[in-house]
Amino acid sequence: MILTVTPNPSLDRTYEVPALERGEVVRATGERMDPGGKGVNVSRAVAAAGRRTVAVLPLGGAPGALVAALLDAQGIEVAPVPVAGATRSNIALAEPDGVLTKINAPGPELSAQEQELLLDTVRAQSREADWIACCGSLPRGLAPSWYADLVTRAHAAGARIALDTSGRALSEALRARPDVVKPNAEELSAAVARPLATVGDALQAAEEVRALGARAVLASLGADGQLLVSEAGAWFGSARVSAVRSNVGAGDASLAGFLIAGGTGPEALASAVAHGATAVTLPGSVMPAPADLDPAAVTVTADIPLDRVLTEPTP
Ligand SMILES: Nc1ncnc2c1ncn2[C@@H]1O[C@H](COP(=O)(O)OP(=O)(O)OP(=O)(O)O)[C@@H](O)[C@H]1O
Ligand SMILES: [Mg+2]
């Protein structure tokens, strides 16, 4: 079972608009609602692969009830943590040329009691979990060391932790030795406080993040592919992609692919790349199912192309 923890989930509302004009009444031509949050995406991809998953989510108010109902309709098991504040609603405005404008709300502040309940729920669910994937930003009220505490407690209970977060929540969690972290290029660059221009720069940064405490680093480098750096070695994976439709959630699909395939070694990296490369060919944050994957398009090598210049170097 793969348990996911999303401390700050959302109700994602997407409006299709002909064109965005500031100060005008913009009439939407279509609208949809989706359960949102990085761990929610991971759970959706794991469920699509026919594997058991439970999503731990603080949920509150009418938007929280809608998130639970939407996930239930998709057959995704939720371990809800009832909170007093309303779950946030995030707005996305999609224009016909593919430009997406997003407005993300901060979300409710969790009280000390709600934080305790969240940890208790993770503990209760983690008994059956092979992996716990902790994903996304922390809501107001949670200390930057919150993920570090979670990693320590989960390790004491015998579970492995995958962490996909950024900034201080990531840097503080490293000392608790998460089993794998999944930064993208920007997050990896921030973790070592310097820009990354080549695959070699990313490899060196990933090694530094390991030295800071992560047991393994799965670094996703957008169109350039992914690096896995672990005690057992380092590998680089990439895939041919025909047409990119939406890279939203490609990192979440990658992490799911990595964990589904065991969460360690070059085969898990190949699965991560296959999931990421397929996710970008699907609209919005739609997660790939096994039938969508094209494993033949993936290459994984221990011969890392150190001098390859990143398509999107970090600033
Ligand atoms: N333009 C692209 N072409 C081919 N593959 C891509 C492209 N963008 C992303 N991918 C694949 O998806 C993986 C994850 O993408 P990325 O590094 O952008 O994740 P991310 O920024 O964490 O995304 P998110 O947080 O929105 O889920 C990449 O490592 C790569 O395998
Ligand atoms: Mg990401």
| pLDDT for position 242 | 87
Q: Identify which of 224, 248, 254, 293 to mutate to test ligand 1's pocket (most ligand atoms within 8 A of the CB).
A: 254
Is the pLDDT at 142 greater than 90, yes or no? yes
Is the pLDDT at 61 greater than 90, yes or no? yes
- What's the pTM value of the predicted model, to 2 decimals? 0.97
Is the pLDDT at 29 greater than 90, yes or no? yes
Active site residue 252: yes
Q: Identify which of 247, 269, 311 to mutate to test ligand 1's pocket (most ligand atoms within 8 A of the CB).
A: 247
In 60-187, beta strands by DSSP E: 77-82, 88-94, 100-103, 131-135, 160-164, 180-181
Q: What is the pLDDT of residues 80-137, one digit of tens each?
A: 999 999 999 999 999 998 889 999 999 999 999 999 999 999 999 999 999 999 999 9
Is the pLDDT at 236 greater than 90, yes or no? yes
CB 149 within 8 A of CB 178: no
Ligand 1 atom with the smallest distance to the CA of 241 is: 4
Does residue 277 have its Cβ closer than 6 Å to ligand 1? yes
Distance (angstroms) between ligand 1 centre and the Cα of 276 equals 6
Is the pLDDT at 254 greater than 90, yes or no? yes
Instruction: Give the number of residues written for the chain.
Output: 315
Bridge partners (DSSP) of residue 209 are none
Mean pLDDT computed over every residue of the chain: 96
Q: Whose C-alpha lies nearest to ligand 1, atom 25?
A: 251
Distance (angstroms) between ligand 2 centre and the Cα of 81 equals 24
DSSP for 223-256 reads: GG-EEEEETTEEEEEEE--S-----TTHHHHHHH
Q: What is the pLDDT of residues 170-199, one digit of tens each?
A: 999 999 999 999 999 999 999 999 999 999
* Residue 41 banded pLDDT, cuts 50, 70, 90: very high
| pLDDT for position 179 | 98
Select the more confidently predicted residue: 166 or 315. 166
Question: Tokens 């794998």 — which residue?
Answer: 180
Distance (angstroms) between ligand 2 centre and the Cα of 222 equals 10
Angle of helix 250-260 relative to helix 38-48, nearest 10 degrees, comes to 50
| pLDDT for position 14 | 93
Q: Cα(242)–Cα(237) distance, rounded to whole angstroms?
A: 17
